[in-house]
Amino acid sequence: MPPTPGRRFKTAIYEQFARVAKALASAHRVELVELLSQGPRTVEALARLADMTLANTSAHLQVLRGAGLVESTRDGLFVTYRLADPSVADLLLSVRRVAEARLAEVAKITRDFLAQNSQLEPVDEAALRVRVRKGEVTLLDVRPAEEFVSGHIAGALSVPLPELARRLARLPKRREVVAYCRGPYCVLAIEAVKQLRARGFKAVRLEEGVLDWAALGLPVERTSA
């Protein structure tokens, strides 16, 4: 018996929904979406940040573009990618939250990594947010400068991780330092806190990145670095 028009309609619609899910069914593509949620990037920059070859990066980006999740523009020899719209960043956050809630492996992998880096001490994130918003700490954005320009937590200073060591002398040592990067699974802020503590600073990591901060309705700025 042939399928009814209603069944054909539902199958066709769900196949389109599945295109989006399939596009994210790769750890590499999820990471690329996270990187692009911080701002537009060239294929070369994305390949470098994600530790992939140019060919693999381009292939993954084509899948994401085919599903309508990213867009691209060409300027001479360089192709720059960006998220198609803010709903893609919201989708990334939703996927992450479901994984955190339903997969015990997420917590275990995170806990093991933080333990290896001596950063398992409990941090009251809500209280830390209040202190950040009141300007009671020195807030460092340790992402690359171009990501800071695309959007950063209000009041943050742009100190990309490779520049941190030479800029420590400019930071007030008696004031607590809070470092953040792309979110709870970004390792840049973890490394920054290790360096700061080794030099005698009282330093902690803010788990939230710009996406998380904006999702909480907290102020995000877009100014030059």
Mind listing the domains of the chain with CATH numbers?
5-88 (1.10.10.10), 122-221 (3.40.250.10)
Cβ neighbours of residue 126 closer than 8 Å, sequence gap 6 or more: none
- Structure-token pair, residue 63: 């899948």
- Segments of the chain assigned E as strands: 41-42, 70-75, 78-83, 138-141, 152-153, 157-158, 177-180, 203-205, 220-221
Active site residues: 181
Using CA atoms, how far apart are residues 65 and 87, in angstroms rounded to an integer? 15
Specify whether the CB–CB gap between 201 and 187 falls below 8 A: no
**With a threshold of 0.85, does the pTM exceed it?**
yes
Full pLDDT tens readout for the chain, 225 residues: 888 999 999 999 999 999 999 999 999 999 999 999 999 999 999 999 999 999 999 999 999 999 999 999 998 889 999 999 999 999 999 999 999 999 999 999 999 998 888 776 778 889 999 999 999 999 999 999 999 999 999 999 999 999 999 999 999 988 999 999 999 999 999 999 999 999 999 999 999 999 999 999 999 998 754
